Amino acid sequence: MKPGRTSLLLLALTLCACQREERQFRLDPPISASLQAVASMPDGISGAPPDTYRVLGKPYASNAYNLSQGKQLYTWFNCNGCHANGGGETGPAFLDGWWRYGPDIISIFVSIRDGRPRGMPAFRDRLTTEQIWQLAGYVQTIGAYSAKTAAPARDDAMQSRPAENRAPAKSSFASDQWPYPPQ
Amino acid sequence: MREAQQITATRYSELDQIDRDNVSHLRLVFSFRSGQRGAQGAAPLVVGSRLYLLTSFPHTLFALDLTSPQPKVSWQFTPQSDPIAAGLACCDRTAHGPVFDKGRLYFSTLDGHVIAVDSDTGRMLWDVAVANPHQGETLTSPPTVSGGRLVIGNAGDNFGTRGWVVALDAATGRELWRHYTTGPDRDVGITQGFAPFEASDRGPDLGSRSWPAGAWQHGGGSVSGPSLYDSELELLLHNTGPPAPWNPEQRAGANRWTSGVFARDPQTGAARWFTPLHPHNVYSWVNGTANIAVDRPWSGVNRKLLLHADADGLLYVLDRGSGEILAADPLLSPEDARQASQDDPSQTPRSGVQVRDICPAWVGAIGGDPALAASTGILFVPITRLCMDIEARPASYIEGTPFMGANVRVHAEPGKERGGLVGWDLGRRKAAWRIDERFPVASDALATAGELVFYGTLDGVIKAVDAGTGKLLWQWRTATGIMGQPTTYRGPDGRQYVAVVAGATGPYGLASQYWIDRRDATAALGLAQSIADLPAPTDPSGTLYVFGLP
Amino acid sequence: MALSTPIAVRLVLLAPLVLCGCAGASAGWQSALQPHGTQAMALNRLIWILIGVGAIVWVAVMLVLAGALARRSRSARAGHTVDTNTERRMGRAVGSAVLATALIILGLTLTSFLLTRGLSASDARALEIEIRGHQWWWEITYLSSQADQVFTTANEIHVPVGRTIHLQLAAADVIHSFWVPNLAGKQDLIPGRDNSLTFAAQRPGVYRGQCAEFCGLQRAHMALLVIVDPPEAFEHWRRAQLTPAANPTDPQQAEGRKVFTSKPCAACHTVQGTSAAATIGPDLTHVASRRYIAAGLLQTTRGSLAAWIADPQTLKPGNNMPDVPLTATELQAVSAYLAALK
């Protein structure tokens, strides 16, 4: 091939890669209504997400924009007052990958939406369903067992712990000593 | 009973059977394991031949019969509790009693109840809800009994509550009066008889006019520590906590009546005087340490004094009658006494900017309640030496959630030990001796007529030191950290015993819990990393240890 | 265009482009060429001096260029000879042009210095206002030495005419820039840094400003209004802003307040006098007293409030106000309540 055509081909290939992920700011109303239809177990631990969640490609745990929005919501709604930056305070830590109600995103969603008995307030009337999903996805990322491709935005506030996309919880399970007393 | 009351007021006991010469022979007589994780900070109470022990939240009150060699439980009482309060106890030293008056026991609960039970049978007499945990309010101090009234104040600065103090009728639990620590004069109880020492504190509605519009409604100023009743002057003295939120940019002004000391009329609650200690407190220095009232000569004249060991590391000596500050001497040595100044703009927390090495940290320089040996005029003060890096952020008030607006990391000063005990000579206004401790000392001090001072460390060692020299005379390792009040009593057999409840409570207790991940520098409000080397407890249950001579 | 096209034709064809700019500048309330503040006046003077001097220099250079082009065709045919007189003349001409350039630049620098050195001067009697830039709205706090005179509003500033205003500029998330062209120049709002801007408005009126630093998707919809009032009108407005929110006057407004405080609205906004005390979104205590909502997006009417609450993401995609699901009755009630918060 002549050099001119090679460079044209390369240029065309480069431009194809410029298509960025679509950001949907406004979910269609039937979809956003269906995202509320989480089928959780009676004790609020684990359960099944709505079908639309799967069809959308599990966006709240794997999309950088949603994770970043979740991170913003985390400080806006005072989560770091009881959970610090994932290290815990009166509320449990997320960083260590130990989840009182299981690591499933449904459990986290139900915890935020309905609250939990020992002091977790219910945010059902303070956040929209989509915001709760974004928060749940971000919280799960803090204690993820393996690094995700998508990462939330960097810390603009005081940096106090390993970044979320370095999967800090992985190290808790790497050692053979189980650090926590039996419950 | 007089013993118990005196110990509550000054943490000094007249008992001298155990003294400097024989304390090294002290041995464990019995222990009682409550089975409940953690403990509350108040001392176990001994009345007659019974020892009353209240566990941490959710509370159970045990009555132990001391007449048998291995004490057995005479009765126990577990009130109903709202578990939401477990998520609210973050920052104040939690102590709930019980206190004894006329055959009844009174105690407070973390979820906002004051309860009266019969001391012989444990039957509940009344149970009154005074604080609402769904709004972030909790109770973290025991009620103060005076003249047929119980007085208690709330905790919850970090949740944007408004501070208040309430008086209940001891017989029925009916609320007699309630006054707030922020807001217009009629809420605060400021009337014609209010005579603060400083002229700048006189003026109408300072409790709302020293805040931006509406900010006083979530202004903090909680009364998280115990109130002190002065029977001579008929005064009720209590501290007010720091203002909310931590972010000072959202609450311009002097923020009355937070971070100070109030004196009130016990019958009506009307304010007599107020002394501000940190107007517009930008460091959120807590104010829950118990005050001590003592009559002593001061500059040659006999005066009624109030000793207030403050979070900023100074011992304030106030005149109980007028509120005048007579002295404010640093308890720490000059090399240690680095104190951040909020007049310095480079040391003032601002949004989006990290301000480093603010000493003392928010948790304050005073670890536990001090004890006073009035005869020698020495005050024994448990201290901590911690500094913080703080970054203010905008805070939103959402009911039931924290209202803080700050990221904070706490660390030790390099090269210095994190805690200690100071024997402060009131007459000479300087330290007679100082002891260094590896960890912050969160337990209260106990002084006895046997020239001894007892205190406990965060890694679970109870120690007895010589009150005159500070020399360590006896120590004993328990199964978990000691963060409460040691006490001493005369048993049914006429012998003196020393008792302490070991178990995690308060902010250091929280920072040592298993659910905290110490890799986050801001965990447990920054404290988790400051005590990262604290070993895990052998047994985290709250356990009573009683020691006696062989 | 081909090089052979005459210059005059080129100028005529380019003129419309230049004049378009002037058309925009004559919009009035957001124009740097219609200054009504002392700082903007100084900048305006500098603008015209620079344009004038620049234009004269440009015309002179064009004339010389035209002359040189005309002569070049003649001398190319005549052949190149070195004539010392011509050389000397040309040397003098070039030398004087270089000297003139230096003098003009020096003169312009001096002018710029003299005109702009007083721009940030503030005095002790200045009105202090803190502006914090958020994505994508302006949080405005009027400061005072008396704590209870401090209040917060959003997106609209009222100032008294003639008084020096000292703005303390801060940012909550990313870099923004404050620019009200009729009154002053631009100044950035940088997170973690304290910047300030001073201006003094000379004529009452309404002036529009906008964010002048790229701050995200909706930067184009981050406008603010500066309303310059006579002193009595300003004082009246200031006292009204200090009062808590108006109480509902009919059952629908009462229902609206209940909806507001029980739904996610109260978790983001403040309305003084109710339980809503959050600072994530703009303060709504006196939202109906402002001319625009959503940072200059829509004029404040009950309908636009309802439209905004019903579907903010279509009106301003990507902004931080979520789609709060409300029934039609709730929407009517809450918009009635907000429209009454004057």
Q: With H, G, I as helix, E, B as strand and everything else as coil, classify residue B463.
A: strand
- What is the predicted pLDDT for the residue at A177? 44
- What is the predicted pLDDT for the residue at B264? 96
Half-sphere exposure of B289 (CA within 13 A, CB side): 33
Contact check, Cβ <8 Å, B352/C279 = no
A163: chain B residues, CB-CB within 8 Å: none
Alpha-carbon distance of C145 to C149, in angstroms, equals: 8
C151: chain B residues, CB-CB within 8 Å: 212-213
- What is the predicted pLDDT for the residue at B117? 97
Q: With H, G, I as helix, E, B as strand and everything else as coil, classify residue B362.
A: coil
Could you report the per-residue pLDDT of C242-282, keeping only the tens digit for each? 999 999 999 999 999 999 999 999 999 999 999 999 999 99
- What is the predicted pLDDT for the residue at A15? 83
B525: chain A residues, CB-CB within 8 Å: 84, 89
Cβ-Cβ contacts under 8 Å between B and C: the total is 60
H-run or E-run covering B528? helix B527-530
Asked if C278 has any chain B CB less than 8 Å from its own CB, the reply is yes
Question: Six-digit token pair at B270?
Answer: 């009307």
In the predicted structure, residue A175 carries a pLDDT above the cut 80: no
Going by their DSSP bridges, the two strands B164-169 and B175-180 should be labelled as antiparallel
Could you report the per-residue pLDDT of C165-192, keeping only the tens digit for each? 999 999 999 999 999 999 999 999 999 8
The angle at the Cα of A154, spanning A148 to A156, to the nearest 5 degrees, equals 155
Neighbours of chain B (3+ CB pairs under 8 A): A, C
Q: Which of residues 110-149 of A touch C (CB under 8 A)?
A: 123, 125-131
- What is the predicted pLDDT for the residue at C20? 55
Asked if C175 has any chain B CB less than 8 Å from its own CB, the reply is no
Name the least confident of A91-105, B335-349, C16-30: C16-30
- Span C46-62, average pLDDT: 94
Asked if A77 has any chain C CB less than 8 Å from its own CB, the reply is yes
B250: chain C residues, CB-CB within 8 Å: 279
Contact check, Cβ <8 Å, B213/C148 = yes
Asked if C324 has any chain A CB less than 8 Å from its own CB, the reply is yes
- What is the predicted pLDDT for the residue at C120? 79
> Higher confidence at residue C218 or residue A171?
C218
Q: With H, G, I as helix, E, B as strand and everything else as coil, classify residue B523.
A: helix
In the predicted structure, residue B174 carries a pLDDT above the cut 50: yes
- What is the predicted pLDDT for the residue at C109? 95
Asked if C250 has any chain A CB less than 8 Å from its own CB, the reply is no
Alpha-carbon distance of B517 to B23, in angstroms, equals: 40
- Span B139-145, average pLDDT: 94
- What is the predicted pLDDT for the residue at A174? 57
- Could you tell me how many residues make up chain A? 183
Contact check, Cβ <8 Å, A25/C262 = no
ipTM for this model:
0.90
Question: Six-digit token pair at C84?
Answer: 């010392």
Contact check, Cβ <8 Å, B522/A96 = no
Residues C257 and C179 in one domain: no
Q: Of C218, C242, C266, at which residue does a domain stop?
A: C242
- Span B67-85, average pLDDT: 91
C-interface mutation test, from A35, A65, A126, A129, most C Cβ less than 10 A away: A126
Average pLDDT, chain A: 85
Asked if C318 has any chain A CB less than 8 Å from its own CB, the reply is yes
- What is the predicted pLDDT for the residue at A132? 96
- What is the predicted pLDDT for the residue at C330? 96
Q: Of C178, C208, C242, at which residue does a domain stop?
A: C242
- Span B65-78, average pLDDT: 91
Kindly report the pTM of this predicted structure.
Answer: 0.90
Q: Of C91, C116, C141, at which residue does a domain stop?
A: C116
| Domain limits for position C303 | 251-339
Could you report the per-residue pLDDT of A31-44, keeping only the tens digit for each? 888 998 888 888 88
Going from the N-terminus, what domains does chain B have, and what CATH number goes with each?
A: 2-548 (2.140.10.10)
Chain B closest-CA separation from residue C333 CA (Å): 23
Chain C closest-CA separation from residue B393 CA (Å): 9
Contact check, Cβ <8 Å, B352/C170 = yes
Side chain identity at residue C323, one-letter code: D
- What is the predicted pLDDT for the residue at C16? 64
**CATH number of the domain encompassing residue C263:** 2.60.40.420
Chain B closest-CA separation from residue A178 CA (Å): 12
Chain B closest-CA separation from residue A109 CA (Å): 18
Q: Which of residues 175-194 of C touch A (CB under 8 A)?
A: 191
Q: Which of residues 151-180 of C touch A (CB under 8 A)?
A: 173
- Looking at the structure of chain C, the number of domains it has is 3
Question: Six-digit token pair at A120?
Answer: 């977790």
Q: Which of residues 148-167 of C touch B (CB under 8 A)?
A: 148, 150-152
C272: chain B residues, CB-CB within 8 Å: 213-214
Residues C234 and C142 in one domain: yes
From B160, which residue of chain C is nearest by alpha-carbon distance? C277
In the predicted structure, residue B227 carries a pLDDT above the cut 50: yes
Contact check, Cβ <8 Å, B396/C278 = yes
Contact check, Cβ <8 Å, A125/C262 = yes
Residues C302 and C320 in one domain: yes
In the predicted structure, residue C61 carries a pLDDT above the cut 60: yes
- What is the predicted pLDDT for the residue at A183? 32
A56, A68, B59, C143 from A35: Cα distances, Å: 10, 19, 41, 44
- What is the predicted pLDDT for the residue at C225? 96
Detail the DSSP E strand segments found in B98-227: 99-101, 104-108, 113-118, 124-129, 144-146, 149-153, 164-169, 175-180
Chain A closest-CA separation from residue B94 CA (Å): 14
- What is the predicted pLDDT for the residue at B514? 86
Residues C106 and C162 in one domain: no
Could you report the per-residue pLDDT of B473-515, keeping only the tens digit for each? 999 999 999 999 999 999 999 999 999 999 988 899 888 888 8
- Closest by Cβ to B404, choosing from A77, A81, A87: A81
> Higher confidence at residue C305 or residue B37?
C305
Where exactly are the structural domains of chain A? 46-173
Contact check, Cβ <8 Å, B252/C150 = yes
From C280, which residue of chain B is nearest by alpha-carbon distance? B396
From A143, which residue of chain B is nearest by alpha-carbon distance? B517
Chain B closest-CA separation from residue A87 CA (Å): 5
Average pLDDT, chain B: 92
H-run or E-run covering B4? helix B2-10
- Closest by Cβ to B252, choosing from C147, C266, C273: C147
The answer to whether residue C174 is domain-embedded is yes
Please classify residue C172 by burial: count the beta carbons closer than 10 Å to its beta carbon, then call 0-12 exposed, 13-18 middle and 19+ buried: buried
- What is the predicted pLDDT for the residue at A180? 45
Side chain identity at residue C199, one-letter code: F
Question: Is there a contact between C195 and C175 (Cβ–Cβ < 8 Å)?
Answer: no
Cβ neighbours of B16 (radius 10 Å): 14
Name the least confident of B9-13, B372-376, B435-439: B9-13
In the predicted structure, residue B24 carries a pLDDT above the cut 90: yes
DSSP state letters, chain A: --HHHHHHHHHHHHHHTT-PPP--SS--HHHHHHTT--EE-TTSSSEE--HHHHHTTSHHHH-HHHHHHHHHHHHHTTHHHHHTTTT-SSSPPSTT---TT-S-HHHHHHHHHH-BTTTBPP-TTTS-HHHHHHHHHHHHHHT-SS--SS-PPPP-S---S--GGG-TTHHHHHSSS--S---
- What is the predicted pLDDT for the residue at A182? 37
In the predicted structure, residue C201 carries a pLDDT above the cut 80: yes
Per-residue HEC secondary structure of chain C comes to CCCCCCHHHHHHHHHHHHHHHHHHHCCCCCCCCCCCEHHHHHHHHHHHHHHHHHHHHHHHHHHHHHHHHHHHHHHHHHCCCCCHHHHHHHHHHHHHHHHHHHHHHHHHHHHHHHHHCCCCCCCCCCEEEEEEEECCEEEEEECCCCHHHCEEEECEEEEECCCEEEEEEEECCCCEEEECCCCCCEEEECCCCCEEEEEEECCCEEEEEEECCCCCCCHHHCEEEEEEECHHHHHHHHHHHHCCCCCCCCHHHHHHHHHHHHCHHHHCCECECECCECCCCCCCCCHHHCCEECCCCEECCHHHHHHHHHCHHHHCCCCCCCCCCCCHHHHHHHHHHHHCCC
Question: Is there a contact between C168 and B345 (Cβ–Cβ < 8 Å)?
Answer: no
- What is the predicted pLDDT for the residue at C74? 64
In the predicted structure, residue B176 carries a pLDDT above the cut 50: yes
- Which band of pLDDT confidence, cut at 50, 70 and 90, is reported for residue A16? confident
- Whether a cis peptide bond, with omega within 30° of 0, leads into B245 is yes
- Span B170-194, average pLDDT: 95
CATH of the domain spanning A46-173: 1.10.760.10
Residues 6+ apart with CB under 8 A from B169: B148, B149, B150, B175, B176
Chain A closest-CA separation from residue C269 CA (Å): 11
Contact check, Cβ <8 Å, B213/C267 = no
Average pLDDT, chain C: 90
In the predicted structure, residue B408 carries a pLDDT above the cut 70: yes
Q: Hey, what's the torsion of the CAs at B379, B385, B389, B395, to 10 degrees?
A: -40
β-partners of residue B124 are B117
- What is the predicted pLDDT for the residue at A1? 55
In the predicted structure, residue B105 carries a pLDDT above the cut 50: yes
In the predicted structure, residue B213 carries a pLDDT above the cut 50: yes
Question: Six-digit token pair at B294?
Answer: 């003592």
Contact check, Cβ <8 Å, B399/C275 = yes
Alpha-carbon distance of B213 to C146, in angstroms, equals: 11
Secondary structure percentages of chain B, helix, strand, coil, to 5: 10, 40, 50
Alpha-carbon distance of B509 to B411, in angstroms, equals: 17
Cβ-Cβ contacts under 8 Å between A and C: the total is 41
- Closest by Cβ to C242, choosing from B213, B255, B351: B213
B213: chain C residues, CB-CB within 8 Å: 148, 150-151, 242, 244, 272
Alpha-carbon distance of B68 to B66, in angstroms, equals: 6
Could you report the per-residue pLDDT of C97-136, keeping only the tens digit for each? 999 999 999 999 999 999 888 887 878 889 999 999 999 9
H-run or E-run covering B188? helix B185-188
Residues 6+ apart with CB under 8 A from C135: C172, C173, C174, C215, C216, C218, C319, C320
In the predicted structure, residue B1 carries a pLDDT above the cut 50: no
Per-residue HEC secondary structure of B40-99 comes to CCCCCEEECCEEEEECCCCCCEEEEECCCCCCEEEEEECCCCCHHHHHCCCCCCCCCCCE
- Closest by Cβ to A81, choosing from B402, B516, B517: B402
The answer to whether residue C122 is domain-embedded is no
Contact check, Cβ <8 Å, B519/A119 = no
A156: chain C residues, CB-CB within 8 Å: 173, 191
B-interface mutation test, from C279, C284, C320, most B Cβ less than 10 A away: C279
B217: chain C residues, CB-CB within 8 Å: 277
Question: Six-digit token pair at B70?
Answer: 């291995």
Cβ neighbours of C99 (radius 10 Å): 10
Chain A closest-CA separation from residue C322 CA (Å): 7
The angle at the Cα of C188, spanning C186 to C193, to the nearest 5 degrees, equals 145
Contact check, Cβ <8 Å, C323/A130 = yes
Contact check, Cβ <8 Å, B523/A98 = no
Name the phi and psi angles at C33, rounded to 5: -95, 0
Could you report the per-residue pLDDT of C293-328, keeping only the tens digit for each? 999 999 999 999 999 999 999 999 999 999 999 999
Q: With H, G, I as helix, E, B as strand and everything else as coil, classify residue B8.
A: helix
